[in-house]
Structure formats: structure tokens, C-alpha cells
């Protein structure tokens, strides 16, 4: 195996499914801007998820409508600068 290919700096991070409120604490290197106070009274970085195993139709067996229009708007907002450069 190659040496030094894995990231350093793992820390405890809370991942929260925004569709149903389910949250779990695990180690990660992901960068976040939000924080949340966890059940143990400590504050941890927060990663917001749209879908997790507690809300995904494959795991729940229930069909759920996904806001595709909202996803398109998010994509356009995120890459607006790129599209503006192309048109100019």
C-alpha cells in the first residue's frame, strides 16, 4: 500500500438527516460551517444530509417525493458564476 494517502485530522462530527431529524455522531475529516450541541452537552461540527438510511425509500420501503425543482435551483445557484462566464 502507498504510504500517507489517508487523510489526517479525524474529529467527531454530527451528521443530521434534515428530512426526519435523525442524527448520529461519528469521526470524519469533512469541512463544515455549522455546529450543533450534541446530547452529551458538547458542541460538534454539523453536516446536513438530505437523505440517510432512515429516510431512503430502499431502506424504509416507503415512496417519498423528492423536491427535484429545489435541486435544480440549488444547482443553478451553486454554478451561477460558471454559467455567467460562459455567456459573456
DSSP string, 7-76: PP--EEEEEEETTT--EEEEEE----SEEEE-TTS-EEEEEEES--TTT-HHHH-------HHHHHHHHH
76 or 49, which is more confident: 49
Amino acid 36: pLDDT: 95
- Cut 0.75: pTM above it: no
Domain locations in the chain as residue ranges: 11-87
Give pLDDT tens digits for 48-64: 988 887 776 665 666 65
74 or 34, which is more confident: 34
Amino acid at each position: 500500500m502507498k504510504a500517507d494517502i489517508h487523510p489526517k485530522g479525524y474529529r467527531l462530527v454530527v451528521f443530521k438527516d434534515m428530512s426526519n431529524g435523525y442524527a448520529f455522531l461519528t469521526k470524519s475529516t469533512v469541512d463544515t460551517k455549522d455546529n450543533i450541541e450534541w446530547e452529551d452537552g458538547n458542541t460538534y461540527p454539523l453536516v446536513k444530509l438530505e437523505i440517510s438510511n432512515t429516510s431512503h425509500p430502499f431502506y424504509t420501503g416507503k415512496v417519498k417525493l423528492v423536491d427535484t425543482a429545489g435541486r435544480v435551483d440549488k444547482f443553478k445557484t451553486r454554478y451561477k458564476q460558471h454559467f455567467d462566464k460562459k455567456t459573456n
